[in-house]
Amino acid sequence: MAKTSETFENIQRLRKRYYASFQGKQSLLDLISETEVGEQVYNSNAIENSTLTLGDTEKVLLQIDLDKYISERELFEAKNLARVVGYINQKSTQSELTLDIILLLHQMLLANINDDFAGRWRQKDEWVRVGNHIAVAPEQIIAKLHKTLADYFASNNEHIVKRITLFHLNFEQIHPFIDGNGRIGRVLNNYLLIRDGFVPINIKFIDRAEYYQAFNEFNETGKTKVMQSIIGKALSNSYHKRLAYLEAKEIIHLKDYGKRYKISHSNLINKAKRQTIEAFSEKGKWKIGC
């Protein structure tokens, strides 16, 4: 990826273009958000070892019968997370994030999966492991979460990528729930992004190894470089996609773009992955507006 300062500056430029482009196009933005739900649900659940493919997930959300068996848990994981995603798209514009809202989102996420601990923090003697270390004691959860939120709100002078990165790493290190911490943490990223006037991001299953590496880096050294790169690229990707539609560009597959302009496909893919060109990943395919 480009240098951090260049990435931050580029995101600010993309954001300005976005705000200049979306006037009178709310219906298009709504359509983009609706079509992204399946992909967001698939990626977030797949990171947590769901066996559903993107196609399976979209069929579940459209209530289309699958031609294979899926567990009741995976069925509810997909439906519940889609409900949470839809809820935050509306709620985030109305209210600051609070601990009560986090509990409500967790209740929605685990409904009909495990109602015994849906919508509540870990309690005494409920310990969980985060990677290679044990999460904070249940008795410390609420205080740690209050501090994590307070630190986020107090950091408006920092770039949004830094703020989201630190919030996400700290939230996952706390691991306040018995189950569902990763999925809740990722939707909270989007709650905060939308609330602060940015677009939502989608951390991809294909990047899971790098994503786990980011937590290891933070837990072992306190550094945030890897997660900052992931968040920055995801945010750039989201802006590139929206701008391609909002600016009424011709959207083509990156391989076709390479053929048209006689550019090496592997070179384009490398640049797309680093987000140094205005390409975006949509349903596993690299595309670009031209």
What's the pLDDT at 131? 80
Total number of domains constituting the chain: 1
- Pairing type for strands 133-134 and 251-253 reads unpaired
Can you tell me which residue has the tokens 């990722």? Answer: 186
d(CA 169, CA 179) in angstroms, rounded, equals 17
Q: Is residue 235 part of a domain?
A: yes
As a whole-number percent, the residues of the chain with pLDDT over 70 amount to 99
- Average pLDDT of span 270-287: 97
What's the pLDDT at 242? 98
Quick: pLDDT tens for 201-247. Answer: 999 999 999 999 999 999 999 999 999 999 999 999 999 999 999 99
Q: Is residue 20 part of a domain?
A: no
Strands of the sheet containing 251-253, edge to edge, are 251-253, 285-289, 279-282
| Residue 283 pLDDT exceeds 70 | yes
What's the pLDDT at 2? 57
Confidence at 130, pLDDT banded by 50, 70, 90: confident
DSSP string, 24-56: T-HHHHHHHHHHHHHHHHHHHHHHTT----HHH
DSSP string, 58-78: HHHHTTPPPSS---HHHHHHH
Q: SS3 of 23, please?
A: coil
Q: Are 271 and 236 in contact (CB under 8 A)?
A: no
Q: Which two tokens stand for residue 181?
A: 């911490």
Nearest in space to 161 (alpha carbons), one of 261, 262, 232, 260 = 232
Q: HSE (CB half, 13 Å, CA atoms) of 217?
A: 17
Average pLDDT, the chain: 96
| Residue 142 pLDDT exceeds 80 | yes
Q: Is residue 74 part of a domain?
A: yes
Question: What's the domain range around 180?
Answer: 26-248
Q: Is residue 189 part of a domain?
A: yes
- Average pLDDT of span 280-289: 96
Residue 34 pairs with which residues in a beta bridge?
Answer: none
Q: Is residue 254 part of a domain?
A: no
| Residue 3 pLDDT exceeds 80 | no
Quick: pLDDT tens for 33-77. Answer: 999 999 999 999 999 999 999 999 999 999 998 888 999 999 999
Confidence at 18, pLDDT banded by 50, 70, 90: very high
Q: Is residue 15 part of a domain?
A: no
Q: Is residue 21 part of a domain?
A: no
Q: Is residue 209 part of a domain?
A: yes
Quick: pLDDT tens for 239-271. Answer: 999 999 999 999 999 999 999 999 999 999 999
CATH of the domain at 89: 1.10.3290.10
Q: SS3 of 253, please?
A: strand
- Average pLDDT of span 150-175: 98
